[in-house]
Structure 1
């Protein structure tokens, strides 16, 4: 069900996220190799961990791209469910907060 606040033509930026992940993957690989060759095992491990995270993220992005577009309701779908006056459930009425009396 639509909430009524989303744009009708909204699309996900998965391809942009994919290319940003490629960019991050290149830098993570470069950082891992460069720090390993420079004798900085801590920084190489940090870049290696980033490499793993970017790879997992890229895998998820590719999976979502491969799934294709999902159902998006069209213009004929109303943004809210119609109110049924015969419904036994009624939301509680809001009460105004009482003002403190000043002496």
Structure 2
């Protein structure tokens, strides 16, 4: 069989009822269309750990660069401090998003 006869072979696009990976209707809750395991979990814990590490490292680097720039080092330390502060802000926002998604 080549899968084009509508019997659910490997060549079809997988519409509704065939178990394929075709488009799904919004709000449709049925059988999972792909090969995702039933025990699949979201990687929110790993993402939270990485965001905390990024927040701490970026905040420390921003403080270090700002102290260096304030002490007379005008070799781009203010720019580096600003960039590190921006990374820290993004990591903090990501932690807020993770906390909201982790709630049941």
- Counterpart secondary structure, 2:59: helix
Counterpart position of 2:88: 51
Matched pairs, number? 67
- Counterpart secondary structure, 2:81: helix
Counterpart position of 1:32: 62
- Counterpart secondary structure, 2:87: helix
- Which stretches in structure 1 are left out of the alignment for 5+ residues? 69-103
Give 1:35 deviation, angstroms. Answer: 0.4
- Counterpart secondary structure, 1:64: helix
Counterpart position of 2:53: 23
> Aligned partners of 1:4 and 1:44: how far apart in 2?
45
Structure scoring higher RCO (CA < 8 A, sep ≥ 6) equals 1
> Aligned partners of 1:55 and 1:4: how far apart in 2?
34
Which structure's CA Rg is the greater one?
1
- Which stretches in structure 2 are left out of the alignment for 5+ residues? 1-29, 70-76
Q: What is the TM-score of this pair, normalised by structure 1?
A: 0.61
